[in-house]
Structure 1
Protein backbone atom coordinates (compact mmCIF):
# COMPACT_ATOMS: atom_id res chain seq x y z
CA UNK A 1 0.00 0.00 0.00
CA UNK A 2 7.28 7.42 0.19
CA UNK A 3 14.63 19.28 -1.71
CA UNK A 4 14.62 22.04 -0.18
CA UNK A 5 11.91 23.23 -2.53
CA UNK A 6 9.28 20.87 -1.26
CA UNK A 7 6.63 21.79 1.28
CA UNK A 8 8.37 19.46 3.77
CA UNK A 9 11.87 19.83 5.18
CA UNK A 10 14.51 17.45 3.89
CA UNK A 11 17.72 16.26 5.46
CA UNK A 12 20.68 14.27 4.22
CA UNK A 13 21.38 10.93 5.87
CA UNK A 14 24.01 8.23 5.29
CA UNK A 15 23.40 5.60 2.62
CA UNK A 16 22.17 2.07 3.41
CA UNK A 17 22.74 -0.10 0.37
CA UNK A 18 20.14 1.13 -2.07
CA UNK A 19 17.04 0.92 0.12
CA UNK A 20 14.62 3.72 0.80
CA UNK A 21 14.67 4.60 4.49
CA UNK A 22 12.39 6.65 6.67
CA UNK A 23 14.50 8.60 9.17
CA UNK A 24 13.31 10.66 12.11
CA UNK A 25 13.64 14.42 11.81
CA UNK A 26 12.06 17.41 13.50
CA UNK A 27 9.16 16.74 11.20
CA UNK A 28 7.56 13.31 11.61
CA UNK A 29 9.40 11.09 9.12
CA UNK A 30 11.91 11.06 6.30
CA UNK A 31 12.42 8.54 3.55
CA UNK A 32 15.85 8.57 1.98
CA UNK A 33 17.25 6.72 -0.98
CA UNK A 34 20.67 5.54 0.05
CA UNK A 35 22.23 5.45 -3.39
CA UNK A 36 21.66 9.20 -3.74
CA UNK A 37 22.05 10.60 -0.22
CA UNK A 38 22.56 14.08 -1.55
CA UNK A 39 18.97 14.14 -2.75
CA UNK A 40 17.18 13.13 0.44
CA UNK A 41 13.40 13.35 0.37
CA UNK A 42 10.69 13.18 2.97
CA UNK A 43 7.23 11.69 3.14
CA UNK A 44 6.04 13.42 6.27
CA UNK A 45 2.46 13.53 7.53
CA UNK A 46 0.56 16.75 6.80
CA UNK A 47 0.31 19.32 9.56
CA UNK A 48 -3.20 18.12 10.43
CA UNK A 49 -1.76 14.81 11.64
CA UNK A 50 0.28 15.39 14.80
CA UNK A 51 1.95 12.06 15.43
CA UNK A 52 2.85 13.05 18.98
CA UNK A 53 -0.85 13.25 19.83
CA UNK A 54 -1.73 9.82 18.45
CA UNK A 55 -1.43 8.04 21.79
CA UNK A 56 -3.76 10.57 23.40
CA UNK A 57 -6.33 10.06 20.65
CA UNK A 58 -6.07 6.29 20.44
CA UNK A 59 -8.86 5.45 22.87
CA UNK A 60 -12.19 5.85 21.01
CA UNK A 61 -14.23 5.99 24.24
CA UNK A 62 -14.68 9.16 26.31
CA UNK A 63 -13.78 8.90 29.99
CA UNK A 64 -17.30 9.76 31.10
CA UNK A 65 -18.69 6.93 28.98
CA UNK A 66 -16.16 4.34 30.14
CA UNK A 67 -17.46 1.03 31.43
CA UNK A 68 -15.52 -1.75 33.08
CA UNK A 69 -13.81 -4.22 30.78
CA UNK A 70 -15.79 -7.03 32.38
CA UNK A 71 -19.09 -5.37 31.53
CA UNK A 72 -18.08 -5.27 27.89
CA UNK A 73 -17.28 -8.97 27.97
CA UNK A 74 -20.80 -9.68 29.20
CA UNK A 75 -22.32 -8.17 26.06
CA UNK A 76 -23.74 -10.35 23.24
CA UNK A 77 -21.37 -12.00 20.79
CA UNK A 78 -21.53 -10.86 17.16
CA UNK A 79 -20.21 -13.08 14.36
CA UNK A 80 -18.20 -11.49 11.56
CA UNK A 81 -17.79 -13.48 8.35
CA UNK A 82 -14.77 -12.02 6.57
CA UNK A 83 -13.80 -12.80 2.99
CA UNK A 84 -15.49 -14.37 0.01
CA UNK A 85 -13.89 -17.55 -1.36
CA UNK A 86 -12.66 -18.94 1.96
CA UNK A 87 -14.38 -16.76 4.56
CA UNK A 88 -12.99 -16.56 8.07
CA UNK A 89 -15.33 -16.41 11.05
CA UNK A 90 -14.47 -13.94 13.81
CA UNK A 91 -16.32 -13.29 17.06
CA UNK A 92 -16.56 -9.93 18.79
CA UNK A 93 -18.38 -8.57 21.82
CA UNK A 94 -21.08 -6.15 20.78
CA UNK A 95 -20.08 -3.50 23.35
CA UNK A 96 -16.69 -3.18 21.68
CA UNK A 97 -18.05 -3.42 18.17
CA UNK A 98 -20.51 -0.53 18.59
CA UNK A 99 -17.61 1.86 19.14
CA UNK A 100 -17.73 2.00 15.35
CA UNK A 101 -20.75 3.98 14.05
CA UNK A 102 -20.98 1.55 11.13
CA UNK A 103 -21.40 -1.48 13.38
CA UNK A 104 -23.47 0.46 15.89
CA UNK A 105 -26.17 1.00 13.26
CA UNK A 106 -26.15 -2.68 12.34
CA UNK A 107 -26.30 -3.85 15.95
CA UNK A 108 -29.32 -1.63 16.59
CA UNK A 109 -31.27 -3.80 14.16
CA UNK A 110 -30.43 -6.84 16.30
CA UNK A 111 -32.06 -5.16 19.31
CA UNK A 112 -35.13 -4.18 17.30
CA UNK A 113 -35.67 -7.68 15.96
CA UNK A 114 -34.29 -10.51 18.10
CA UNK A 115 -35.05 -13.02 15.36
CA UNK A 116 -32.22 -11.55 13.26
CA UNK A 117 -29.01 -13.57 13.77
CA UNK A 118 -26.15 -11.54 15.21
CA UNK A 119 -23.99 -12.08 12.15
CA UNK A 120 -22.41 -9.58 9.76
CA UNK A 121 -20.98 -10.49 6.36
CA UNK A 122 -17.84 -8.65 5.24
CA UNK A 123 -17.04 -10.36 1.92
CA UNK A 124 -14.80 -7.63 0.52
CA UNK A 125 -12.58 -7.03 3.54
CA UNK A 126 -9.06 -8.21 4.39
CA UNK A 127 -8.91 -10.58 7.35
CA UNK A 128 -5.70 -9.10 8.76
CA UNK A 129 -7.07 -5.55 8.55
CA UNK A 130 -10.33 -6.56 10.25
CA UNK A 131 -8.35 -8.35 12.96
CA UNK A 132 -6.29 -5.22 13.63
CA UNK A 133 -9.47 -3.13 13.60
CA UNK A 134 -11.00 -5.34 16.30
CA UNK A 135 -7.75 -5.31 18.29
CA UNK A 136 -7.92 -1.53 18.32
CA UNK A 137 -11.55 -1.51 19.48
CA UNK A 138 -10.61 -3.79 22.37
CA UNK A 139 -7.26 -2.25 23.37
CA UNK A 140 -6.80 1.14 21.69
CA UNK A 141 -3.79 -0.16 19.72
CA UNK A 142 -2.84 -2.90 17.26
CA UNK A 143 0.32 -4.86 16.51
CA UNK A 144 2.99 -3.78 15.87
CA UNK A 145 2.53 -1.09 18.48
CA UNK A 146 4.32 2.24 18.51
CA UNK A 147 7.22 2.43 20.95
CA UNK A 148 6.65 5.07 23.64
CA UNK A 149 8.37 8.35 22.88
CA UNK A 150 9.68 7.12 19.53
CA UNK A 151 8.63 7.17 15.91
CA UNK A 152 9.24 3.48 15.47
CA UNK A 153 7.30 0.25 15.87
CA UNK A 154 8.00 -2.75 18.06
CA UNK A 155 9.88 -5.55 16.35
CA UNK A 156 7.84 -7.92 14.21
CA UNK A 157 9.88 -11.07 13.49
CA UNK A 158 7.49 -12.13 10.73
CA UNK A 159 8.47 -9.27 8.39
CA UNK A 160 11.84 -8.06 7.06
CA UNK A 161 13.47 -4.90 8.37
CA UNK A 162 13.03 -3.24 4.96
CA UNK A 163 9.67 -3.46 3.20
CA UNK A 164 10.68 -4.43 -0.32
CA UNK A 165 7.23 -5.59 -1.47
CA UNK A 166 5.07 -2.92 0.17
CA UNK A 167 3.31 -5.46 2.41
CA UNK A 168 3.98 -3.48 5.59
CA UNK A 169 2.90 -0.19 4.06
CA UNK A 170 -0.23 -1.85 2.69
CA UNK A 171 -1.07 -3.33 6.10
CA UNK A 172 -1.43 0.10 7.68
CA UNK A 173 -2.99 1.60 4.55
CA UNK A 174 -5.74 -1.04 4.60
CA UNK A 175 -6.40 -0.36 8.26
CA UNK A 176 -6.60 3.37 7.48
CA UNK A 177 -9.22 2.90 4.76
CA UNK A 178 -11.14 0.44 6.94
CA UNK A 179 -11.18 2.89 9.85
CA UNK A 180 -12.37 5.61 7.49
CA UNK A 181 -15.13 3.40 6.12
CA UNK A 182 -16.30 2.32 9.56
CA UNK A 183 -16.02 5.73 11.20
CA UNK A 184 -13.18 5.35 13.72
CA UNK A 185 -11.14 8.54 13.35
CA UNK A 186 -8.67 7.69 16.13
CA UNK A 187 -7.66 4.52 14.28
CA UNK A 188 -7.22 6.52 11.08
CA UNK A 189 -4.78 8.80 12.87
CA UNK A 190 -2.91 5.90 14.44
CA UNK A 191 -2.58 3.82 11.28
CA UNK A 192 -1.53 6.86 9.25
CA UNK A 193 1.22 7.64 11.76
CA UNK A 194 2.54 4.07 11.58
CA UNK A 195 3.03 4.36 7.84
CA UNK A 196 5.83 6.86 8.51
CA UNK A 197 7.67 4.32 10.66
CA UNK A 198 8.23 1.87 7.79
CA UNK A 199 11.54 1.45 5.97
CA UNK A 200 10.74 0.72 2.35
CA UNK A 201 12.15 0.43 -1.16
CA UNK A 202 11.02 1.93 -4.44
CA UNK A 203 9.02 -1.20 -5.27
CA UNK A 204 7.25 -0.99 -1.93
CA UNK A 205 6.46 2.68 -2.47
CA UNK A 206 4.99 1.94 -5.90
CA UNK A 207 2.61 -0.64 -4.43
CA UNK A 208 1.69 1.67 -1.59
CA UNK A 209 0.95 4.60 -3.91
CA UNK A 210 -1.16 2.36 -6.16
CA UNK A 211 -3.31 1.24 -3.21
CA UNK A 212 -3.76 4.77 -1.87
CA UNK A 213 -4.91 6.18 -5.21
CA UNK A 214 -7.21 3.21 -5.80
CA UNK A 215 -8.93 3.24 -2.40
CA UNK A 216 -9.05 6.82 -1.13
CA UNK A 217 -11.03 9.88 -2.15
CA UNK A 218 -9.48 12.66 -4.24
CA UNK A 219 -9.91 15.14 -1.38
CA UNK A 220 -8.28 12.88 1.23
CA UNK A 221 -5.14 14.97 1.58
CA UNK A 222 -4.20 13.33 4.89
CA UNK A 223 -3.02 10.21 3.11
CA UNK A 224 -2.59 11.34 -0.50
CA UNK A 225 -0.59 14.54 -0.05
CA UNK A 226 2.46 12.87 1.54
CA UNK A 227 2.52 10.28 -1.27
CA UNK A 228 2.46 12.94 -3.98
CA UNK A 229 5.00 15.10 -2.14
CA UNK A 230 7.37 12.16 -1.80
CA UNK A 231 7.27 11.31 -5.49
CA UNK A 232 7.40 14.97 -6.55
CA UNK A 233 10.72 15.45 -4.77
CA UNK A 234 12.24 12.10 -5.71
CA UNK A 235 10.72 10.98 -8.99
CA UNK A 236 13.77 12.11 -10.96
CA UNK A 237 15.96 9.66 -9.01
CA UNK A 238 13.49 6.88 -8.29
CA UNK A 239 12.35 6.58 -11.90
CA UNK A 240 15.74 5.14 -12.78
CA UNK A 241 15.04 2.23 -10.43
CA UNK A 242 11.43 1.62 -11.42
CA UNK A 243 10.75 3.71 -14.51
CA UNK A 244 8.34 1.25 -16.13
CA UNK A 245 6.37 0.78 -12.91
CA UNK A 246 6.26 4.52 -12.30
CA UNK A 247 5.02 5.19 -15.82
CA UNK A 248 2.37 2.46 -15.51
CA UNK A 249 1.17 3.95 -12.23
CA UNK A 250 0.82 7.41 -13.79
CA UNK A 251 -1.19 5.95 -16.68
CA UNK A 252 -3.37 3.87 -14.35
CA UNK A 253 -4.10 6.81 -12.04
CA UNK A 254 -3.82 10.12 -13.92
CA UNK A 255 -4.60 11.97 -10.69
CA UNK A 256 -1.35 10.60 -9.26
CA UNK A 257 0.65 12.12 -12.12
CA UNK A 258 -1.34 15.36 -11.90
CA UNK A 259 -0.71 15.69 -8.15
CA UNK A 260 3.02 15.19 -8.68
CA UNK A 261 3.15 17.72 -11.53
CA UNK A 262 1.19 20.24 -9.47
CA UNK A 263 3.70 20.03 -6.64
CA UNK A 264 6.68 20.25 -8.99
CA UNK A 265 5.24 23.41 -10.59
CA UNK A 266 4.31 24.88 -7.21
CA UNK A 267 7.87 24.35 -5.99
CA UNK A 268 9.24 25.97 -9.14
CA UNK A 269 6.99 28.99 -8.62
CA UNK A 270 8.10 29.30 -5.00
CA UNK A 271 11.74 29.21 -6.05
CA UNK A 272 11.18 31.94 -8.61
CA UNK A 273 9.40 34.12 -6.07
CA UNK A 274 12.17 33.62 -3.52
CA UNK A 275 14.81 34.50 -6.10
CA UNK A 276 12.97 37.73 -6.92
CA UNK A 277 12.58 38.66 -3.26
CA UNK A 278 16.11 37.64 -2.27
CA UNK A 279 18.38 37.85 -5.33
CA UNK A 280 21.82 36.39 -4.76
CA UNK A 281 24.91 38.51 -5.27
CA UNK A 282 26.03 36.22 -8.06
CA UNK A 283 22.97 37.08 -10.08
CA UNK A 284 23.52 40.85 -9.89
CA UNK A 285 25.05 42.25 -13.06
CA UNK A 286 26.72 45.63 -13.29
CA UNK A 287 25.84 47.95 -16.12
CA UNK A 288 28.71 47.94 -18.62
CA UNK A 289 30.77 51.12 -18.74
CA UNK A 290 31.39 52.61 -22.15
CA UNK A 291 34.66 54.47 -22.49
CA UNK A 292 35.98 56.59 -25.34
CA UNK A 293 39.02 55.88 -27.39
CA UNK A 294 39.21 52.29 -26.16
CA UNK A 295 39.90 53.51 -22.58
Structure 2
Protein backbone atom coordinates (compact mmCIF):
# COMPACT_ATOMS: atom_id res chain seq x y z
CA UNK A 1 0.00 0.00 0.00
CA UNK A 2 2.78 2.37 0.94
CA UNK A 3 4.68 1.53 -2.21
CA UNK A 4 1.61 2.17 -4.34
CA UNK A 5 1.05 5.47 -2.53
CA UNK A 6 4.65 6.50 -3.14
CA UNK A 7 4.41 5.58 -6.83
CA UNK A 8 1.15 7.49 -7.24
CA UNK A 9 2.57 10.51 -5.43
CA UNK A 10 5.69 10.46 -7.58
CA UNK A 11 3.57 10.27 -10.72
CA UNK A 12 1.45 13.21 -9.56
CA UNK A 13 4.58 15.24 -8.82
CA UNK A 14 5.98 14.43 -12.25
CA UNK A 15 2.71 15.45 -13.87
CA UNK A 16 2.64 18.68 -11.85
CA UNK A 17 6.27 19.34 -12.78
CA UNK A 18 5.48 18.77 -16.44
CA UNK A 19 2.62 21.22 -16.25
CA UNK A 20 4.79 23.80 -14.54
CA UNK A 21 7.58 23.25 -17.10
CA UNK A 22 5.12 23.65 -19.96
CA UNK A 23 3.75 26.79 -18.38
CA UNK A 24 7.27 28.18 -17.98
CA UNK A 25 8.08 27.41 -21.62
CA UNK A 26 4.84 29.02 -22.72
CA UNK A 27 5.54 32.17 -20.70
CA UNK A 28 9.11 32.29 -22.02
CA UNK A 29 7.88 31.90 -25.60
CA UNK A 30 5.32 34.67 -25.14
CA UNK A 31 8.00 36.88 -23.63
CA UNK A 32 10.35 36.25 -26.56
CA UNK A 33 7.57 36.90 -29.04
CA UNK A 34 6.64 40.13 -27.30
CA UNK A 35 10.27 41.24 -27.23
CA UNK A 36 10.69 40.40 -30.91
CA UNK A 37 7.52 42.28 -31.80
CA UNK A 38 8.64 45.26 -29.73
CA UNK A 39 12.04 45.17 -31.40
CA UNK A 40 10.47 45.10 -34.86
CA UNK A 41 8.17 47.97 -33.96
CA UNK A 42 11.05 50.04 -32.66
CA UNK A 43 13.11 49.22 -35.75
CA UNK A 44 10.30 50.27 -38.08
CA UNK A 45 9.77 53.44 -36.08
CA UNK A 46 13.48 54.19 -36.22
CA UNK A 47 13.54 53.75 -39.99
CA UNK A 48 10.47 55.94 -40.38
CA UNK A 49 12.16 58.64 -38.35
CA UNK A 50 15.43 58.23 -40.23
CA UNK A 51 16.10 61.29 -42.37
CA UNK A 52 17.94 59.18 -44.93
CA UNK A 53 14.59 57.76 -46.08
CA UNK A 54 13.20 61.22 -46.70
CA UNK A 55 13.15 62.50 -50.31
CA UNK A 56 16.64 63.45 -51.39
CA UNK A 57 17.20 67.24 -51.39
CA UNK A 58 17.50 69.04 -54.71
CA UNK A 59 20.86 70.59 -55.55
CA UNK A 60 21.15 73.49 -58.00
CA UNK A 61 24.14 73.42 -60.33
CA UNK A 62 25.34 76.55 -62.10
CA UNK A 63 27.28 75.40 -65.16
CA UNK A 64 29.46 77.23 -67.67
CA UNK A 65 30.31 80.84 -68.37
CA UNK A 66 26.65 81.58 -69.14
CA UNK A 67 25.60 80.15 -65.74
CA UNK A 68 23.07 77.66 -67.06
CA UNK A 69 21.04 76.08 -64.26
CA UNK A 70 20.64 72.35 -63.69
CA UNK A 71 18.86 70.57 -60.85
CA UNK A 72 19.63 67.10 -59.51
CA UNK A 73 18.94 65.01 -56.42
CA UNK A 74 21.69 64.96 -53.85
CA UNK A 75 21.85 61.16 -53.60
CA UNK A 76 22.18 60.92 -57.40
CA UNK A 77 25.06 63.39 -57.45
CA UNK A 78 26.79 61.53 -54.61
CA UNK A 79 27.46 58.64 -56.99
CA UNK A 80 30.36 60.85 -58.05
CA UNK A 81 33.21 61.09 -55.51
CA UNK A 82 33.72 64.70 -56.60
CA UNK A 83 30.16 65.77 -55.82
CA UNK A 84 30.00 63.68 -52.66
CA UNK A 85 33.07 65.48 -51.34
CA UNK A 86 31.65 68.90 -52.24
CA UNK A 87 28.22 68.16 -50.75
CA UNK A 88 29.56 66.70 -47.51
CA UNK A 89 32.00 69.55 -46.91
CA UNK A 90 30.19 72.65 -48.18
CA UNK A 91 26.48 72.21 -47.52
CA UNK A 92 26.21 73.46 -43.96
CA UNK A 93 23.16 75.53 -44.86
CA UNK A 94 20.24 73.32 -45.92
CA UNK A 95 18.57 76.22 -47.72
CA UNK A 96 21.53 77.07 -49.94
CA UNK A 97 22.30 73.92 -51.92
CA UNK A 98 24.13 75.31 -54.92
CA UNK A 99 27.28 74.20 -56.72
CA UNK A 100 29.07 76.43 -59.24
CA UNK A 101 30.91 74.77 -62.13
CA UNK A 102 32.05 77.71 -64.29
CA UNK A 103 34.65 75.71 -66.22
CA UNK A 104 32.29 72.93 -67.32
CA UNK A 105 30.42 72.88 -70.63
CA UNK A 106 26.61 72.70 -70.26
CA UNK A 107 26.23 70.37 -73.27
CA UNK A 108 28.74 67.96 -71.78
CA UNK A 109 27.41 68.22 -68.24
CA UNK A 110 23.91 67.32 -69.42
CA UNK A 111 25.38 64.00 -70.58
CA UNK A 112 26.96 63.49 -67.15
CA UNK A 113 23.61 64.01 -65.41
CA UNK A 114 21.85 61.72 -67.88
CA UNK A 115 24.36 58.98 -67.08
CA UNK A 116 23.96 59.45 -63.31
CA UNK A 117 20.18 59.03 -63.62
CA UNK A 118 19.92 56.42 -66.40
CA UNK A 119 23.28 54.66 -66.57
CA UNK A 120 23.89 55.87 -70.15
CA UNK A 121 23.75 59.04 -72.24
CA UNK A 122 22.43 59.82 -75.71
CA UNK A 123 23.03 58.22 -78.11
CA UNK A 124 22.67 55.05 -76.05
CA UNK A 125 24.77 51.94 -76.55
CA UNK A 126 22.58 49.14 -77.95
CA UNK A 127 23.33 45.47 -78.47
CA UNK A 128 22.39 44.01 -81.85
CA UNK A 129 21.46 40.41 -81.04
CA UNK A 130 21.30 39.35 -84.69
CA UNK A 131 24.89 40.40 -85.37
CA UNK A 132 26.10 40.05 -81.78
CA UNK A 133 27.62 43.52 -81.97
CA UNK A 134 27.22 46.91 -80.31
CA UNK A 135 25.67 49.91 -82.04
CA UNK A 136 24.85 53.49 -81.22
CA UNK A 137 21.23 54.54 -80.99
CA UNK A 138 19.87 56.38 -84.06
CA UNK A 139 22.93 55.71 -86.22
CA UNK A 140 21.86 55.86 -89.87
CA UNK A 141 21.36 53.67 -91.74
CA UNK A 142 20.88 50.76 -89.35
CA UNK A 143 22.18 48.18 -91.81
CA UNK A 144 25.78 49.45 -91.57
CA UNK A 145 27.97 47.62 -89.08
CA UNK A 146 29.68 50.01 -86.66
CA UNK A 147 33.43 50.43 -87.03
CA UNK A 148 35.89 49.41 -84.33
CA UNK A 149 37.42 52.89 -84.41
CA UNK A 150 36.54 56.29 -85.87
CA UNK A 151 36.73 56.25 -89.66
CA UNK A 152 38.94 58.98 -91.07
CA UNK A 153 37.46 61.32 -93.64
CA UNK A 154 39.85 63.87 -95.13
CA UNK A 155 37.61 65.20 -97.88
CA UNK A 156 37.33 69.03 -97.80
CA UNK A 157 33.54 68.93 -97.69
CA UNK A 158 33.70 67.22 -94.32
CA UNK A 159 35.72 69.95 -92.62
CA UNK A 160 34.67 72.53 -90.09
CA UNK A 161 34.86 70.23 -87.09
CA UNK A 162 31.66 68.33 -87.83
CA UNK A 163 31.47 64.58 -88.15
CA UNK A 164 31.33 63.70 -91.81
CA UNK A 165 29.57 60.86 -93.56
CA UNK A 166 31.07 58.67 -96.23
CA UNK A 167 28.93 56.83 -98.80
CA UNK A 168 29.88 53.53 -97.13
CA UNK A 169 29.80 54.42 -93.45
CA UNK A 170 27.49 56.99 -91.85
CA UNK A 171 28.28 59.15 -88.87
CA UNK A 172 26.40 58.49 -85.67
CA UNK A 173 24.09 61.15 -84.30
CA UNK A 174 25.67 63.72 -81.98
CA UNK A 175 29.24 62.74 -82.84
CA UNK A 176 30.68 66.16 -81.96
CA UNK A 177 29.98 68.94 -79.50
CA UNK A 178 30.96 72.60 -79.62
CA UNK A 179 33.01 73.70 -76.60
CA UNK A 180 32.73 77.42 -76.00
CA UNK A 181 35.84 77.36 -73.81
CA UNK A 182 38.07 76.58 -76.79
CA UNK A 183 35.72 77.71 -79.56
CA UNK A 184 35.95 74.42 -81.46
CA UNK A 185 34.11 71.18 -82.13
CA UNK A 186 35.53 67.96 -80.71
CA UNK A 187 34.22 64.43 -80.35
CA UNK A 188 31.48 64.40 -77.74
CA UNK A 189 32.63 61.10 -76.24
CA UNK A 190 36.09 62.56 -75.64
CA UNK A 191 34.57 65.53 -73.80
CA UNK A 192 32.40 63.14 -71.74
CA UNK A 193 35.45 60.99 -70.94
CA UNK A 194 37.47 63.96 -69.70
CA UNK A 195 34.56 65.24 -67.59
CA UNK A 196 34.05 61.76 -66.14
CA UNK A 197 37.72 61.71 -65.17
CA UNK A 198 37.30 64.99 -63.27
CA UNK A 199 34.19 63.70 -61.48
CA UNK A 200 35.70 60.29 -60.65
CA UNK A 201 33.24 58.22 -62.74
CA UNK A 202 35.33 55.28 -63.94
CA UNK A 203 32.40 53.34 -65.44
CA UNK A 204 31.39 56.37 -67.48
CA UNK A 205 34.95 56.65 -68.80
CA UNK A 206 34.80 53.06 -70.03
CA UNK A 207 31.39 53.68 -71.62
CA UNK A 208 32.55 56.85 -73.40
CA UNK A 209 35.66 55.11 -74.73
CA UNK A 210 33.59 52.23 -76.06
CA UNK A 211 31.15 54.59 -77.75
CA UNK A 212 33.94 56.56 -79.37
CA UNK A 213 35.22 53.33 -80.89
CA UNK A 214 31.89 53.03 -82.73
CA UNK A 215 32.01 56.47 -84.34
CA UNK A 216 32.57 56.68 -88.09
CA UNK A 217 33.09 59.29 -90.79
CA UNK A 218 35.05 61.69 -88.56
CA UNK A 219 37.30 64.19 -90.35
CA UNK A 220 41.02 64.47 -89.60
CA UNK A 221 40.79 67.93 -88.07
CA UNK A 222 38.17 66.86 -85.53
CA UNK A 223 40.22 63.83 -84.51
CA UNK A 224 43.37 65.90 -84.01
CA UNK A 225 41.52 68.56 -82.03
CA UNK A 226 39.91 65.87 -79.90
CA UNK A 227 43.26 64.17 -79.30
CA UNK A 228 44.83 67.47 -78.21
CA UNK A 229 41.86 68.18 -75.93
CA UNK A 230 42.28 64.70 -74.44
CA UNK A 231 45.95 65.35 -73.66
CA UNK A 232 45.16 68.75 -72.16
CA UNK A 233 42.37 67.43 -69.90
CA UNK A 234 43.56 64.03 -68.70
CA UNK A 235 46.42 63.18 -66.33
CA UNK A 236 49.68 61.79 -67.66
CA UNK A 237 48.76 58.48 -66.02
CA UNK A 238 45.83 57.99 -68.41
CA UNK A 239 46.52 54.93 -70.53
CA UNK A 240 43.22 54.41 -72.31
CA UNK A 241 41.95 57.38 -74.30
CA UNK A 242 45.44 58.68 -75.06
CA UNK A 243 46.52 55.25 -76.29
CA UNK A 244 43.34 55.05 -78.36
CA UNK A 245 44.25 58.23 -80.25
CA UNK A 246 47.88 57.21 -80.77
CA UNK A 247 46.85 53.84 -82.19
CA UNK A 248 44.25 55.48 -84.44
CA UNK A 249 46.70 58.03 -85.90
CA UNK A 250 49.37 55.38 -86.52
CA UNK A 251 46.89 53.03 -88.14
CA UNK A 252 45.60 55.81 -90.44
CA UNK A 253 48.95 57.59 -90.87
CA UNK A 254 48.68 57.80 -94.67
CA UNK A 255 45.41 59.70 -94.41
CA UNK A 256 46.83 62.10 -91.83
CA UNK A 257 49.90 62.65 -93.99
CA UNK A 258 47.82 63.50 -97.08
CA UNK A 259 45.51 65.90 -95.28
CA UNK A 260 48.18 68.41 -94.25
CA UNK A 261 46.26 69.02 -91.02
CA UNK A 262 48.89 67.24 -88.96
CA UNK A 263 51.63 69.59 -90.17
CA UNK A 264 49.49 72.67 -89.49
CA UNK A 265 48.71 71.51 -85.95
CA UNK A 266 52.37 70.71 -85.25
CA UNK A 267 53.43 74.16 -86.46
CA UNK A 268 50.92 75.78 -84.09
CA UNK A 269 52.15 73.68 -81.19
CA UNK A 270 53.56 75.84 -78.41
CA UNK A 271 52.49 79.15 -79.96
CA UNK A 272 48.83 80.15 -80.20
CA UNK A 273 47.52 76.65 -79.60
CA UNK A 274 44.51 76.66 -77.27
CA UNK A 275 45.50 73.29 -75.81
CA UNK A 276 48.77 74.49 -74.29
CA UNK A 277 51.16 71.71 -73.33
CA UNK A 278 48.63 69.09 -74.40
CA UNK A 279 49.67 69.43 -78.05
CA UNK A 280 53.37 69.03 -77.30
CA UNK A 281 52.73 65.90 -75.23
CA UNK A 282 50.53 64.44 -77.94
CA UNK A 283 53.10 64.83 -80.71
CA UNK A 284 55.97 63.62 -78.51
CA UNK A 285 54.03 60.50 -77.51
CA UNK A 286 53.11 60.01 -81.15
CA UNK A 287 56.79 60.20 -82.13
CA UNK A 288 57.72 57.61 -79.49
CA UNK A 289 54.83 55.35 -80.52
CA UNK A 290 55.85 55.57 -84.19
CA UNK A 291 59.44 54.66 -83.30
CA UNK A 292 58.24 51.67 -81.28
CA UNK A 293 55.96 50.64 -84.13
CA UNK A 294 58.85 50.89 -86.58
CA UNK A 295 61.07 48.79 -84.32
CA UNK A 296 58.37 46.14 -84.08
CA UNK A 297 58.02 46.03 -87.88
CA UNK A 298 61.78 45.62 -88.34
CA UNK A 299 62.02 42.93 -85.66
CA UNK A 300 59.08 41.03 -87.11
CA UNK A 301 60.39 41.14 -90.70
CA UNK A 302 63.95 40.09 -89.98
CA UNK A 303 65.46 39.94 -86.53
CA UNK A 304 68.99 39.25 -87.81
CA UNK A 305 69.55 41.50 -90.81
CA UNK A 306 69.06 45.24 -90.24
CA UNK A 307 67.17 47.00 -92.99
CA UNK A 308 67.08 50.58 -94.16
CA UNK A 309 63.62 52.07 -93.97
TM-score using structure 2 length: 0.59
- Cα distance in 1 for partners of 2:262, 2:89 equals 51
Where do 5+ consecutive residues of structure 2 fail to align?
Answer: 1-51, 141-161, 165-169, 178-184, 274-278
CA distance in 2, matches of 1:255, 1:87: 32
Higher relative contact order (CA 8 A, sep 6+): 1
Instruction: Please say if residues 162 and 201 of structure 1, whose CA atoms lie closer than 8 Å, have aligned partners that are also in contact.
Output: no
User: Residue 271 of structure 1 corresponds to which residue in structure 2?
Assistant: 297
| Structure holding more helix per residue | 2
CA-to-partner distance for each residue in 1:104-127, whole Å, 9 max, x for gaps? 11222366x235610000111011
Q: Deviations over 1:61-104 (max 9, x none)?
A: xxxxxxxxxx99921100001112x2111110111111111111
| Aligned mates of 1:215, 1:230 — CA distance in 2 | 19
Alignment pair present for 1:192 and 2:209: yes
Cα RMSD, aligned residues only: 3.1
Deviations for 1:122-141, whole angstroms, at most 9, x for unmatched residues? Answer: 11101111111111111111
Unpaired segments ≥5 residues, structure 1: 1-70, 284-295
Select the structure of larger CA radius of gyration.
2
Q: Distance in 2 between matches of 1:186 and 1:165?
A: 20
- Change in CA separation of 1:109 and 1:266 when aligned onto 2, cut-off 3 Å: closer
Rate the CA distance shift 1:265–1:73 in 2: closer, same or farther, 3 A.
farther
* CA–CA separation in structure 1 for the residues paired with 2:245 and 2:119: 26
1:106 is aligned to 2:132: no
Q: Please state how far the C-alpha of 1:142 moved relative to its aligned partner.
A: 0.8
How far did 1:248 drift?
Answer: 3.5
Report the equivalent of 2:146.
Answer: none
- The 1:109–1:267 alpha-carbon spacing in structure 2 relative to 1, beyond 3 Å, is closer
Secondary structure in 2 matching 1:148: strand
Equivalent runs, 1:1-295 vs 2, <5 Å: 74-84=55-65, 86-109=66-89, 113-114=92-93, 117-149=96-128, 150-155=133-138, 161-162=170-171, 166-167=176-177, 170-199=187-216, 200-241=218-259, 242-248=261-267, 253-277=279-303
User: d(CA) in 2 for partners of 1:90 and 1:109?
Assistant: 20
Q: Which residue of 2 aligns with 1:18?
A: none
Q: Which deviations, in whole Å up to 9, do the C-alpha atoms of 1:224-279 show, x marking residues without a partner? A: 01111222233343222125434336555222221111122112212222233488
- What is the distance in 2 between the residues matched to 1:165 and 1:238? 20
TM-score by length of 1: 0.62
SS at match of 2:240: helix
Task: State the distance in 2 between where 1:140 and 1:72 align.
Answer: 22
Indicate the SS of the match to 1:120: strand
In 2, Cα distance between equivalents of 1:230 and 1:236: 11
Residue 184 of structure 1 and its aligned partner are, at CA, apart by 1.1
SS of the residue 2:100 aligns to? strand
Q: Is the 8 A contact 1:169 1:204 kept in 2?
A: yes
Distance between the aligned counterparts of 2:163 and 2:224, measured in 1?
A: 18
Q: Is the 8 A contact 1:78 1:118 kept in 2?
A: yes
